[in-house]
A and B are shown apart, each in its own frame.
Chain A
Amino acid sequence: MKKLRSSSSWLPTLLFLLLVFGTMQFVSSLNLISVYWQQVFMSACIMAISALGLNLIYGYTGLFHLGQAAFYGIGAYTSALITYYWSRMGPKLPIDFLGLHFDLSMTAMFLLALLAGALMAAIVAYLIGLPVLRLTGDYFCIASLGFNVIVYVLFNNADRLIPVMKGARGMVGIPRWTSWPWVFIFTVLALFGMRNLVYSSVGRAIISIREDEDAADVMGIDTAKYRTLAFVIGSLYAGLAGGLYAHLYTFLHPTCFAWIKSCDPFLIVVFGGAGGMTGTIVASLVWTFILEGLRVLLPRGFESWRYVIYPLIMLMIMLFRPGGILGRRELGFLKPKGIEVARVERVPAAASAGSDRPEERGSKDVSSED
């Protein structure tokens, strides 16, 4: 009786992912789309990683977090500093294998730097979370925003401590190591990691905090622990995205990590549907392409009108679909696994209270198979 449906739906998922990867790889290697649009697509995926992190914090845990850009920046600067020095001082191990040309030493250090950036963001999130996560609602929002402002000021003056960060002039000389395969791999990993986390007991504990914290507490859920966990993992995602961003544009400026930039992933999460992964991914793509697309579509000299048009689109969405474009609806492999209905003996009183289905008491294990 009662079997978890073991859906063997990994094949279409794999095909879909290979198709996305292959198409992009194909069109960029044949120069069918310009480097500029390749970058736009990659930055959309990077934004999606950061937004997925924020979706965990805001969409699933319910923390009104307006400081995602701070953790994005921490990840960006941390990983950039590592690769900045390594690309200048580290050993070089060029590899030529099956037509693939890459430098093993640089690639390994790139991955380590991304990891370090993500971990640094997570550690800072943990430490800042100790005092700040006691706050709820609007107070947490203000505190996270305040933290973002502090980090921004630190970045602006970082050159006094670490000269190569160049403070308000912006850090240059970061190797351009972010490429489509890496962006793709990390986006997919981030997505699968998030899905697996959300559809687990840990995920349920996190969502219960959003739903009703006191009720979660009296069910034995250590809400303080899971609030911290969600905040740390969400920031880890931001740190990872920041690292990828740094090595895509090779230039970091503190204004990229000002609190106003925290609104971008926030808008995406709300726009796509808070508490939904599919919506977040779709919204990241749509948002990035609306912004960049308007730059092309609008007549010369009117480009800045896109900052008028895209808020209007947002406004429309919020008026007509307040839950976001997809809400909490999930598609494809992001859907939760179906679970078969199980039947066991039923309480007579409970059965008669409200439901008029036939009594099934005594007929234990109706669908008994095992």
Chain B
Amino acid sequence: MSVLKIKKLTKYFGGLRAVHDFDFSIDEGELVGLIGPNGAGKTTIFNMVSEIYPPTAGEIEFMGQSIVGLKPHQVAQLGIGRTFQKIRVFKGMSVLDNVRLAYHPHAGYSIKDAVLHNALFSKREKELTERAQEFLSIFGLEDKQDELCGSLPYGDQHRVEIARALATEPKLLMLDEPTSGMNPREALEMVDLIKFLRDKFKLTIFLIEHRMRVVMGVCERITVIDFGEIIARGEPAEIRNDPKVIEAYLGERMAKELAAA
């Protein structure tokens, strides 16, 4: 069953055509990559799926349900989690609070309970704190739970952001350049982490990535866009030999390097 199905998705910013007739579908458990040169419209597609930007035209279905016109938080509550290209953790909040926030829609107590700090509040708060702490432990962040996110090193912030997205218990996780700003070693570790998380949490993953080694190493299928239009799709091996992709994006040298690797 396809988790996400996108039909003829189009976005105009004024006269600028950012995305045009984008068709895409991703099945349960798949790990699919979206690549393309800068400004090709990749993040715009992500933003339309999370309904941060309303699409100009087209249809987006998640688990068989149309999500166009919903609010971003509704889409998130349906089960689409995502990270951003630049790290956007809540810098002024503690690591624990960043993750605990993910449980807010299921907090199970009202404002009244919060203001009174009654028994229901204490019980639920304890439960969600424990769940959040489990997540922090999984990511090795448990000792940093009380630190402000803004004071963490870059790599830790990255992990907080992924932990936070996963804590919303998404069915579909969209990762926007998960290895940006990392050195090659860290990037490879991120590849392992992504694979591990997919298996552990039974995730479907849709990712944008510029680092070809990461994309080729982790994705089962790849879609390539340029100027808002799909120019190729297929398995990694097909993509790196596709002349259109080589011309628009990879370049001859990169294609050779990848072929040799």
- Is B193 a contact of A196 with CB atoms below 8 Å? no
Do A342 and B125 form a contact, CB below 8 Å, given A196-B114, A350-B159? no
Tell me the count of chain B residues lying within 8 A, CB to CB, of chain A: 66
In Å, the complex CA distance between A220 and B91 comes to 18
In Å, the complex CA distance between A201 and B165 comes to 17
- Is A196 a contact of B133 with CB atoms below 8 Å? no
Give the chain B neighbours of A223 by CB distance below 8 A.
73
* Interface range for A: 35 or more
Asked if B204 is at the interface (CB within 8 A of a chain A CB), the reply is: no
A38-46, A95-103, A210-218: which lies at the interface? A210-218
Quick one: which of B104, B143, B193, B200 contacts A221, CB cutoff 8 A?
B104
Do A229 and B111 form a contact, CB below 8 Å, given A214-B52, A346-B137? yes
Asked if A260 is at the interface (CB within 8 A of a chain B CB), the reply is: no
**Secondary structure dominating the interface of B:** helix
Do A208 and B93 form a contact, CB below 8 Å, given A201-B125, A222-B71? yes
Do A4 and B142 form a contact, CB below 8 Å, given A201-B104, A215-B88, A219-B102? no
In Å, the complex CA distance between A182 and B126 comes to 35
Quick one: which of A196, A208, A350 contacts B101, CB cutoff 8 A?
A208
In Å, the complex CA distance between A229 and B115 comes to 13
Asked if B164 is at the interface (CB within 8 A of a chain A CB), the reply is: yes
Asked if A88 is at the interface (CB within 8 A of a chain B CB), the reply is: no
Do A202 and B114 form a contact, CB below 8 Å, given A343-B137, A343-B142, A349-B193? yes
- How many A-B residue pairs have C-beta atoms within 8 angstroms? Tell me: 172
**B-contacting residues, A334-370, CB 8 Å:** 338-339, 341-355, 357
Asked if B14 is at the interface (CB within 8 A of a chain A CB), the reply is: no
Give the chain A neighbours of B73 by CB distance below 8 A.
216-223
* Interfacial residues, chain A to chain B (CB-CB below 8 A): 2, 4, 193, 196-197, 200-205, 207-208, 210-212, 214-224, 229, 275, 328, 338-339, 341-355, 357
* Interfacial residues, chain B to chain A (CB-CB below 8 A): 50, 52, 71-73, 75-77, 80-82, 84, 88-93, 96-97, 100-105, 107, 109, 111, 114-117, 121-122, 125-126, 128-130, 133-134, 136-140, 142-143, 145-146, 153, 155-156, 159, 164-165, 168, 186, 189-190, 192-193, 196-197, 200
14 contacts between A and B (CB under 8 A): A2-B129, A2-B130, A2-B133, A197-B115, A211-B91, A219-B102, A219-B164, A220-B104, A342-B130, A343-B137, A344-B134, A346-B138, A350-B196, A354-B155
